[in-house]
Structure 1
Amino acid sequence: MVSAMRGASAEAQAELLDRLTGALGSADAASVGTDLFGAASVIRSEAGLRRVVTDISTPGEAKATLVTGIFEGKLDPVALDLVVDAVRRRWTATRDLADTLEHLGVVALVRSAGDADAERLSDELFGVGRLVEENPDLRAALSDHVRSVADRRQLVRGLLGDRTLPATVALAEQALAGSYRTFGVAIAEYQKIAAAVHDERVARVRVAQELSDDDRQRLEQALSRQYGRDVHLNVVVEPELLGGMRVEIGDDVIDGTVVSRLDEARRKLAG
């Protein structure tokens, strides 16, 4: 999605992110995030509006006046200012405007959790993703488009309730209606955005048995040194790996599992 933006869209997104960061100090970040999601949804669902606000032949002030008339009094003032700023800009692809507003909304929700709960938010998003991944019936229910988005959001709220941060609930609800192809993909991408907000990277670590606190800390430190920034571990226990571990961080894969080594030995014997 937004990570693939290029040209004018990439420049616009970077500048809007800077504006968002500067504006959140005096704003309700959760309200800003939720309202940005709402604006993105309206622009995606209304084809005529989307065409007008992304048409390079339409003057920026005309587009700003149009969206102000639509959203004024319905959005947090900070969110409205960002939407107005966004429609004045050039976009490489028409979908990039709404996708960027969603991205800004995710960043605002992450900021709403504060630095103190940054790790908790990341862990909760990972936990939500794993819960859905490991429960086919739940995954089917959340992806059932016969059910309304409101109904599926109610299901998410029932699952998470007051056991998670409000930001986790809000992001899980948005994962049902945003631009990503599945709920699980959205949650994984939101966790990456959350890590980037705090200048971290996310590593998915597959192991045969749970890591001790000392082993986890050593691995975090080693990966942080290697990548030049803090690394947050998502640990998945898979007994069938037999031993060792597989680390996935971005496009890099470090596979030191026993199963991998056995497969490699078989290939050498067969070759």
Structure 2
Amino acid sequence: MSPRQAGADHLEAIGRRLRALREGAELEGKDLAARLGWSASKVSRLELARQGISPADIAAWVAATQGTPDERAQLLGLLDQAREEEHTLRRRARHGQAAIQAGYNTLIERASLIRLFQTAVVPGLLQTPEYARVILTAAQRQLQLSVEDIDAAVATRMERQKYLYSGRRFELLIAEPVLRWGIVPPAVMRDQIDRLHGAIGLANVRLGILPLGAPLELVPLHTFAMYDDLVCVETFGREHRYTGSEAETYAAAFDTLWSSAATGHEARRLLVRLADALSGATNQPEQAPVRH
């Protein structure tokens, strides 16, 4: 069985609603096709989700069947969801990670205020090349990407760091477990922590660490990024984007989490403790195997 197209569920739902509108108007497929100036086969393919549909197609169908504005809005909403799924999954599978990284670079280039909350990895804006390589290699396997472009992806992610010196404002909040996950070797993480030390001194960067054990007013459910008023939430399989009132919810959550963050000298002390712990792990002599 061939894999289902990304967004297929939403496209099939659109097809069912289109058919319901046609039948509600008591029209045969050929009659609706004549009204719209389409072929009868196009009407059939759209109802069966076997052909791509455009917003103009939806508007014409609703008008020809005397559908309501609410029905049109619901159909367009389903189309938006189908396109979101198709765009994200196909982008990752077909274009590789360098293209994904370039897209995030563009988001930063177009924004004046960048806010990131990370519960998984160090933000790409502050990653060392070695750290980035480990993370992107893991993503290559995890997402089963068909394009192997780790070198290009690392280089593109490193290009992003030029924006730290461009006059844009950055507010970067990292949960302490990010610096404790065993995703990268201790030596790589120790160098990464040194990189974070340097970022604390940048005038346009506000760096905070959310310490383990700190009292919190809300649950830090997941990572998210804000580019001015655009919110991006990346999951295992896709990325979701929000604006308007939904984005305002994330902005409020960010401010609430920030109130519990360690910053400045307190953040530096926390980084020193973490680096010392990693140094001990790196210098730990290899234990001889137990023989029975």
TM category (shorter chain) comes to under 0.3
Q: TM-score, normalised by structure 1?
A: 0.23
Calculate the TM-score normalised by the size of structure 2: 0.22
More helix as a share of residues: 1
